[in-house]
A and B are shown apart, each in its own frame.
Chain A
């Protein structure tokens, strides 16, 4: 398996533009997680899905952020409109916890480095 795949790897955009980050989880994993990492706030969980259903989105910073998982092999994280404070590295991770999202290993993608000017 190629592991968790994220695209793009780098994104530079201007304030106000829409940004869409993409993730392909490892085949067979039923959990998918979106994280954001900054120097100031560290690694934050934004949202996670179980069997394509959002379970906890309390980490999503505000209405400008939205995430979808239309099928088991694809998820998107959208920011509209983007702001400079959204600049961060966004990680997608997948896992197959047998009794909950933290009972098995989470496999992280390489991340998308987003810069909003």
Chain B
């Protein structure tokens, strides 16, 4: 099972770039890495997904080194509305791979 480890919490200020790293030393060959965002009283919401190297979309970038044992979610120029819990998800394949959510990183953005 690809267990994941993330920082419990992070603080930042508006306009800064925030990088959240997730460790997944036992990631399997077929595993993808997905990040979700969760606001209070809501279900998690997809942010970005990748397999290797770098992926970028309109809200974030995901950096994955060659060994794939970790990944870093990068949020450019955060705002107060980015205050949320961010989860790293690793796993899943057609053989019924286990899906493991990390414990989540509580990001607090201050003015």
Contacts and interface: CB of A to CB of B under 8 A. Distances in A.
Interface of A: 4, 33, 42-45, 48, 55-56, 58, 91, 93, 97, 99-111
B89 A102 contact: yes
A99 B92 CA distance: 9
B81 interface: no
Which interface class (under 10, 10 to 19, 20 to 34, 35 or more) fits B? Answer: 20 to 34
B96 interface: yes
Given A42-B104, A56-B98, A105-B49, A100 B44 contact: no
Interface of B: 30-32, 34, 36, 41-46, 49, 87, 89-94, 96-101, 103-104
B46 to A, nearest CB: 4
Contacts of B34: 102, 105-106
Contacts, number: 69
Nearest to B90: A102
B43 A103 contact: no
Contacts of B49: 103-105
A105 B31 CA distance: 14
A36 to B, nearest CB: 11
Contacts of B100: 45
A41 B103 CA distance: 8
Contact of A102 (B32, B43, B44): B32
A32 to B, nearest CB: 13
